Structures are given as C-alpha cells and as structure tokens.
Structure 1
Amino acid sequence: MFDAKTIREDFAILNQTVNDEPLVYLDNAATTQKPQSVLTALEQYYQRDNANVHRGVHTLAERATARYEASREKLRTFINASSVKEILFTRGTTTGLNWVARFAQEILQPEDEVLISVMEHHSNLIPWQEACRKSGAALKYVYLKDNELDLEQLSQLINARTKFISIAHASNVLGCINPIKDIARLAHRHGAYLAVDGAQSAPHIPIDVQELDCDFFAFSGHKMLGPTGIGVLYGKEAVLKEMPPMEFGGEMIDFVYEQTASWKELPWKFEAGTPNIAGAIALAAAVDYLEGLGMDKVQAYEETLVAYLLPQLQTIEGLELYGPQDAARHTGVLSFNLSGLHPHDVATALDYEGVAVRAGHHCAQPLLQYLGIHSAVRASLYLYNTKADCDRLIAAILKTKEFFHGTF
C-alpha cells in the first residue's frame, strides 16, 4: 500500500514550520524535495569515491567511473531506452532541449517548418525561436481546444515541410498530458523528428521511450527527487550518430591533431569536460527510490490527490482554474487565480499560512497571453503530499479570500 505519511519520514525538510505553521510544500513542479537516500548518495560519493571519471586507473577513479556509468544504466532502464548509448547526461531539461534545437539549426532550411505548442515552457520555445531565426525556417504553433492541445489543428498543420515537432509531455501550467505516441505517429508519417519535454512527466508517470517512439526526450533530476544541475537527454541511437557534439574539450575526444580532432563514440561524444558525477550518482539513487515505490503507484496516488483537491477548488467562488476540469485528465499541477487578487498577493498570503505555492508566469508567457492573463497561482502535488495538505491549501485560500474581500 502507498503510504505518503511513511514516505514523508524520508524527507526531513518537510518537518519544519514556516511563519509558525507546519510546512505544506506544494511547489513540486518547480523542484521536488530530496529523500535521505539521495542526500546519502551525494555524501558517500564525496567522502569515499571522489575522483574524475574515465581516464584514471587508480582505485578511486575506477570506483567513480563504475558508479557513474552504473547510473547511466539505471536511467536507461527507468525510461526503457534500448541502449546506454542513448542516455546523455546534461545539466537538465533546458540543456537537452537546447541541444536538440541546435541540431535542428544545422539541418533546417528556409522552406522548412518547426511545430511547437502554445503551452510550451520557455525552455522548449526560445531555442526553437532561435533555431528558426538563424535558419530561416518558420515556427508554427498549435493552440488549445477545451483546455488541452488541439490535435485536429496539429494534424492540419503538419506537412512535408515540417522537420521538427517539439511538445511538452505534460504542461507545467495546465496540468494536461499530451498524447505523445499519437503525435509521434503523425510526425514520422511526414518524416519529422519529435522532441519531447518530459520535465513534468518523468517524475510522475511511467515512461517508456520506445513505446512513445519519440526521437528525443529530455528531463531533469531535481524535479524527480534528485539534485539540481543534472538531467538526461534521451535520443534514438541512429539520430544521435547524426547529431554533432554541442560542446568540445576533455572527455569527449578520441584523438586531437593540430588542425582536426575525432570524437569518442556514443554517449561520451556529448559529455565534454568533467561531468556532474555526484549528480548522476544521486539521480540514480532517486530512481531507486521511485522504482522502490513503483511509478505506476506514484501515478495512481497522485490521481487520488487530484480527484480529492480539484472538485474543492472548483467550488470556491471567484476561483478560475486553468487546464482540464476533469480530474481524470489532470496531473498534479493546478493553476488558478482568485478574482480581484494579484497572484503574488495570494501566494504571499498562503505562505503566511505555511503553504508554499508558486505565482508568476511559470516560464510560459505565450500560454498566459493566450489565456488572457498575466500570471497565475500554481499548486503542484507530489508523492509525499497528503489529503491533509490539500485541506490546508483550501483553508488557506478561503482565509485569503476573507482577508482581502471580507465574508465570503
């Protein structure tokens, strides 16, 4: 049985008060807290195995290398990639998506098109703006229908000129999950590459990149119980062989001559310089933790929280909720506004009650402009949250309304 109360014991940071109130952490879409096992993995690496990887032959270097590459294998199984050659360690989702867009820039022509959605995080939008600006290709947008991606419009927009499609698997504002497998089928039918921003899906639902059939899949460690500064870019081996390195220097070279150089084979040709060894090892510990719980159980538990919280939010007068209104079609990301109140005021008031949420444009300004708003409050759930946390959020929202508007 999935027991969030027991799970919470692994997260010491949650056992504190904020403004004299017990902390309710609901900013998980921004970053998640770390269990003790992840913190221990970081500490053990630095206390016992700290050495550079791949080139040393002494014992510490060999131990560090073994643990680093074991982490790559761990990530391979986590997303069911077919080979460790397809697992590239990055600084996070942003880096991975930038690499894909730079690859696109190398091959795009002025008559080509790139297709993204209006719900994209800036990390999956600005790199494509730049790739199209520098190549002369056209950047096309898919918009929304019933608070979700308009698949009919997507199917109409894609054509023989479409060379890349880049789509969020799950929206960091709307909380909807996009049908990547169906989009991949459309993309490949027209000879286009499909890149997926998995930052908001990999921590919450089982991922099988072979079943999804995407060409690229990027995600971040810090959103799935791991440390900051580490992430993964998955790419199909055949595609990565075509893709040039994005950074140059130590670790990724095979041999260097005065005027030319050759690269190591996959995956190392993409990992220039000293990698985030400790981060990769700790990310593997985070994967161990998640797999110990079972990603199917993580998903099912979060669905119960959403089914509990969403209807309560919908009953609050003056609260406008964005994204799907059906709990069964919603992730644990719940964005809303209270009539007449600035989101920052709402977030500050909730913080006074010990409830940590996010307020702002959530790095999705085109989406908010499309929705006709400038910013929103976002509460985001994870595996250590409880129904009691949901109750605290509702109570804090009602208290905020009473404070600003009087009796409700």
Structure 2
Amino acid sequence: MNTNIYNQSGGVPSGLPDIDSLQDFANQLFKALPNGAPKEFSLNPTEHPRAKAFAGNLLDGFSQGNVPHDTHLAQSGIAPLASPTISSSPISGLGISPSVLSYGKELDINFGILENPLANHPNSTSEYSSFGGQVPSSVAGSGASPSYLNHGDNFNIDSPDTSFPDSNLKKGTNGGINNEFHLPLLFEHLNLNEILKSISGNHLGSHEPKPTYTHLYQDRVGDAKPTYYFLNERFPDTSTELKKSATGSTFDANLIKKDFPILAERVNGKPLIWLDNAATTQKPKQVIDRISYFYEHENSNIHRAAHELAARATDAYEAARQKVQHFLNAGSINEIIFVRGATEAINLVAQSWGEQNLVAGDEIIVSNLEHHANIVPWKRLADRKGLKLRVIPVDDDGQILLDEYSKLLNPRTKLVSFTQVSNALGTITPAKQIVEMAHAAGAKALVDGAQSVSHMRVDVRDLNADFFVFSGHKVFGPTGIGVLYGKEDILNATEPWQGGGNMIQDVTFEHIKYHNAPNRFEAGTGNIADAVGLGAAIDYVTRIGMDVIGQYEHYLLEYATHLLKQVPGLRLIGTAANKARVLSFTLQGYTNDQVGQALNQEGIAVRTGHHCAQPILRRMGLETTVRPSLAFYNTCSDVDTLVSVLHRLKSGHRN
C-alpha cells in the first residue's frame, strides 16, 4: 500500500501522511480483528468476562509491540505519544487509543475505553490522556430526526417550541450510517487567560482556579479511582509550555466536545455551535450510554420486588441519590427528593409546605430576577390563601438591592424564594447573605439553583438554605429529572403533596401512615432511568471539577463580553459585576427573531424570546432578547463565529 509518507528523494518524511491511505489501512485492520471481539462493553466487567478477557489480551498484545507504527513520524512534526513505539492513529473500531494501550492495566474498565482526542494534539502530554468514557456499541446514523424533516419555515416568536428549517437535513446530504475510521482532528490549546490579558490589559491572576482532584465516588468494581482526561495526577506533565500556563491549570474544550455526540451535528451545512445552554445542556456519551445500559441490563421498578433486576434498579436509583447528596454536600441522603425538574420541586414546596404552614396575611418574598417557575406557584398560593407576594428590586445592571430587601423583611415574612443565578441576565445573587437575612427575620429560604449547578460548586450546608432545587437537564443530564433538597426535619414535618404507592408505610380505609423523606414525596413510579442518568452526569462534571468548569466559563464569558461590546448597535442586557455564562442582548436595526434566524443559518443555536422571565426584561424596558449562553464545551472559536455573524448583519443592514 502506498502511504505517501516519504518524499520523492528518500525516506525522510516530507509532511503529514496521506489521510485517505491511512484510513483505508485502518479499516482493513479492523476487518481483520478476531471474531472474539466483543460487541459491547459493560459498566460491570463481571457481567461480560469475555469482553474483559479480550480487552486484557489485546492490551497485552499491544504492549509487546504488535502495533503498526512508523518511527519516522517523529521527524515529521507530528506530536509523539507517551509511548514512542505506538502509532498515533487510534484503534477507533474499538475506541482504544494508543495512550490507553501504553498505560496497560491502569485502564479503568468500569468506564470503558475511549479514543484519545489528544493523539495528534500539538501540546499533548500523557497527563491529559482520555479514557474516561464508554464505547458506543454502534453509530446511531445521520442524526436527522423526523421533527427536523417535518418542520417548515414556521418560526414564531410567540411559539418558541418551533424549529428553524434545516435545508441541509431536508436534502439528506448527511448520508447514512458511516462506520469508517477517521483520524482525529488537530485541536489548538486555548489559554483564555493569556487571550484576555492581551485584549484587555487586565491581570486575571486573582481569579486563578484551585481545582480539587479528589474523586467523590469509588468505582463499583475494586478501589481504583476513575481516570479522566487532564485530571489524573498519576501522569507526569512533561510539557514545559503547559507548565508556564498563567491559569495554573489546563483545559481544552475541544477535547470535551468529543464526549458530546450531538456537537458533531451539522445544521444548514455548518458545524453545530450550541449556545443555548441556559435552556438545556447537551449530554455526554457517558450519560447516554449509562441510560441505555440501564434499559438493557437493569430495567425494573424499584423497592418492591425480590428479584435480581429489582435489586439492580434499586441500587442504581439510590446510588444516584447518594451522588446528588455528595454533589450538593447535603447532610443526609434522606434530604434528596427526585422530581421532574426545578419547576416541579418549587410547586411541591408550595403545595405541601406552603399549603400546610402559610395563613392569610403571611408574606412571601421573591426577587425581580425570577423565572416564572419561581413566581407562578407562589402567586397562585397567595391568591388562594390571602398571602402577600413582595418583590426585591434590582438596579440597572440587574443586581439585587440588598438594602431594599432588608426593608421588605418583617415578622409576617414566612418564605424568601429566589434564584442563585438569573436565567435571563446571568446575575449571580449574594445567595448566602440573602438566606442569612431571611433566617434572621424568622423566615424559611428556598434557592432556585437551576442555573447555578452547572457553573459553580454548590454547598447547601454552607448556604444553609431550607430548600434548594435544580433540573438535571441543566447540568448535562437527562430531561424530566430534577432534585428538591430540603432539610430533613422540615421535610418529615411536611405533609405529602401527592398520594400513591411507595410513599406509605401502612394504609387502611381508616388510617394512612406515611414514610419519612424522601419516599413520602416520591409517590408512584418515578423516572428511574433518568435519575440514574443524572447520577452519571454528576460523575462527569465532578471528575472535571466544578471549580475548573466555573473558571473556564468565567474566562470565556469575559472573552465573549469584550467582543460583543465591539459590535455596533449591540446592547448587552444584564451587566452585573458578578455573573455567569449568559449574554442577553439586542441588536439595533434587527428584531430578535431576525438575529436568531441569521445565527441559525450559520449553525449557531441561541435562544430568542422572553426566556420565561418577563418581569426582569420589562424592568430593563424590553419584552424579548437574544440570549447566547455558554458551557464548558464552548470555545473562543464558537464566540468568534457568533460575533462575526453579528458584525456581518450590521455591515449589511440598510436603515
């Protein structure tokens, strides 16, 4: 086979290998793999001993040098791997990367085998090797869903559930299933701190992250800690360049992107840039595979049977509850209640604790920043019971006015319910101080953490909130699952919201005795599989580190803010000094709908509308905004593309 690696004059490499030839060679290699190759990998290797044995034999074979390689590649400018005798081409048919093979038995089989996205990374080091996820058993297909194909040009700002048309998908240009091997991309390393210092002249050293690499959860098999990308301290950092990083840690969002299958989607022929993270976050394949594994191996109702699958499902469900407990630093597993999302959690508190404890004349305080989900349940309760709803005002930057808040507190105040991060503006509220002031007035406090849990570390015991709520789909988990945290003594003293199975100790026609929390608030069959998926999402972000995620998003937000301010006619809405990931704006000369459609044509997904936060937008003199919102898989390149479209819109507009 002609690989075209050498130049015409001799054996010295003249540049990169011929990619097509290498791909053909790799596909021939995969077709020649032994028939014993397993078709799937289990989260629990004891259930698939054949797979475990095959993986072990394969690793042993590679460790003995039975891998195609070319030592001349070292002279071609291609970054070497940890082991110089192993090819930089991943064995993609099995998801095994050369770096994994070089570490041999250190492989964490409980989380499967991943290809190494850093194989061709110019700054790659063994410290940042990737094998923290699972191997998908098949390629799902083109990614074109029937809903995309059926939608016409029917976007309506009054009906945000509709979709923009995608002519690329309509024409079916994505083709069908493609199982062919492809070489990994060369990703550039982003040092946002250096970028920001160069564009603003500000020294950001005071914001240096202090990531904690302690893993909260042990693997189900053995005591080995899971390994994850760049956070494995066992691997030495041999890169002088990375050691000089001003941020004190390294983070490459391009590596993270490879864990999110949907981010390889194309929209209108352009790579998808997902900037609608405040509405919902995308799901890593570790979460997708964990949910699939549940349905394939564990599916059963929980708590109610003696058979094996019931035990597996119960273990998985309660393990997820324990992961949430650690994630929030709750004092007890009994303080974690699974619900459909933050909205249901707030309604549960309103319809149970509120209905039971509030009487006519009592007052509830909310802020002007709130999502409708933290306004409507309290307004309905107030109307029904003769309560008074009072509102904490904000300034022109969208910041809570604490002095005005203190004036609202009085002996009639029974509950203060507020957001930790505004979904419309991104404002981070002084949550701990607001809770302390509520308690000083004798009131309970509920914190809406739907927008905070994916951006910052949350400690409910330090926060001292009586209730805390969040949705799984905001933190890279499934939709339809969320959490209500409540202090155990308060929950056990509160009457249930709904009645049914699983929440009772004893039932007669004369008397009902309820379980204590959490079961008393989980009537009927819950969303078991997605609770397990939420646990997998928590594992995922925990292994990266919430401090690392928050720091990266902070730098990216500053980078985006700086560039957006340079777009003529663009007005940023929400300019609080302390804010997270949200960039609401309007663009002079264009409706928000027009901006959203123009961005969509370039594959950029943003939210347009009132964001279910009409009071705060009206406080800013608006009904709607365009709202890009960031996550840790977004990059400076994503921001650059967004800003370039906005500049093009302004340059082409005729007043």
CA contact 1:252–1:264 (8 Å) conserved in 2: yes
Task: Give, in whole Å, the separation in 1 of the partners of 2:642 and 2:365.
Answer: 37
1:124 equivalent in alignment to 2:374? yes
Aligned partner of 1:98 in structure 2 is 347
1:339 equivalent in alignment to 2:588? yes
CA contact 2:356–2:495 (8 Å) conserved in 1: no
| Deviation (angstroms), 1:106 | 2.5
Say which structure is richer in helix: 1
Task: Give, in whole Å, the separation in 1 of the partners of 2:586 and 2:519.
Answer: 46
User: Which of 301, 304, 309 in structure 2 is aligned with 1:52?
Assistant: 301
User: Which of 16, 22, 37 in structure 1 is aligned with 2:271?
Assistant: 22
User: Any idea what SS the aligned residue of 2:572 has?
Assistant: strand
User: Any idea what SS the aligned residue of 1:320 has?
Assistant: strand
Q: Which runs of 5+ in 2 are unaligned?
A: 1-249
Q: Which runs of 5+ in 1 are unaligned?
A: none
Aligned amino acid, residue 500 of structure 2: G
CA contact 2:427–2:576 (8 Å) conserved in 1: no
CA contact 1:361–1:368 (8 Å) conserved in 2: yes
Aligned partner of 1:227 in structure 2 is 478
User: Any idea what SS the aligned residue of 1:100 has?
Assistant: helix
Aligned partner of 2:407 in structure 1 is 156
Aligned partner of 1:11 in structure 2 is 260
Task: Give, in whole Å, the separation in 2 of the partners of 1:174 and 1:62.
Answer: 45
Deviations 1:227-259 (A, max 9, x none): 000000000111111211111101111111013
Say which structure is richer in strand: 1
CA contact 1:113–1:161 (8 Å) conserved in 2: yes
| Deviation (angstroms), 1:325 | 5.3
Aligned partner of 2:9 in structure 1 is none
User: Any idea what SS the aligned residue of 1:280 has?
Assistant: helix
CA contact 1:165–1:194 (8 Å) conserved in 2: yes
User: Any idea what SS the aligned residue of 2:651 has?
Assistant: helix
User: Any idea what SS the aligned residue of 1:405 has?
Assistant: coil
Aligned partner of 2:338 in structure 1 is 89
TM-score (norm 1): 0.97
| Deviation (angstroms), 1:7 | 0.6
User: Which of 379, 390, 394 in structure 2 is aligned with 1:140?
Assistant: 390
Task: Give, in whole Å, the separation in 1 of the partners of 2:432 and 2:594.
Answer: 40
User: Any idea what SS the aligned residue of 1:144 has?
Assistant: coil
Task: Give, in whole Å, the separation in 2 of the partners of 1:393 and 1:188.
Answer: 44
Aligned partner of 1:112 in structure 2 is 362
Aligned amino acid, residue 180 of structure 1: A
Aligned partner of 1:244 in structure 2 is 495
Aligned amino acid, residue 231 of structure 1: G
1:195 equivalent in alignment to 2:446? yes
Aligned amino acid, residue 23 of structure 1: L
CA contact 1:206–1:295 (8 Å) conserved in 2: yes
User: Any idea what SS the aligned residue of 1:222 has?
Assistant: helix
User: Any idea what SS the aligned residue of 1:251 has?
Assistant: coil
CA contact 2:369–2:422 (8 Å) conserved in 1: yes
| Deviation (angstroms), 1:19 | 1.0
User: Any idea what SS the aligned residue of 1:148 has?
Assistant: coil
Q: Percent identity?
A: 45
CA contact 2:421–2:579 (8 Å) conserved in 1: no
User: Any idea what SS the aligned residue of 2:417 has?
Assistant: strand
User: Any idea what SS the aligned residue of 1:166 has?
Assistant: strand
TM-score (norm 2): 0.61
User: Which of 258, 263, 274 in structure 1 is aligned with 2:525?
Assistant: 274
CA contact 1:28–1:381 (8 Å) conserved in 2: yes
Task: Give, in whole Å, the separation in 1 of the partners of 2:514 and 2:293.
Answer: 32
Aligned partner of 2:233 in structure 1 is none
User: Any idea what SS the aligned residue of 1:380 has?
Assistant: coil
CA contact 2:469–2:482 (8 Å) conserved in 1: yes
Task: Give, in whole Å, the separation in 2 of the partners of 1:268 and 1:277.
Answer: 14
Deviations 1:237-290 (A, max 9, x none): 111112111111011111110132111122111000011110110100000000
Task: Give, in whole Å, the separation in 1 of the partners of 2:394 and 2:617.
Answer: 12
1:216 equivalent in alignment to 2:467? yes
CA contact 1:105–1:132 (8 Å) conserved in 2: no
CA contact 1:357–1:377 (8 Å) conserved in 2: yes
Task: Give, in whole Å, the separation in 1 of the partners of 2:430 and 2:521.
Answer: 29
| Deviation (angstroms), 1:180 | 1.0
Higher relative contact order (CA 8 A, sep 6+): 1
Task: Give, in whole Å, the separation in 2 of the partners of 1:71 and 1:31.
Answer: 20
User: Any idea what SS the aligned residue of 1:333 has?
Assistant: coil
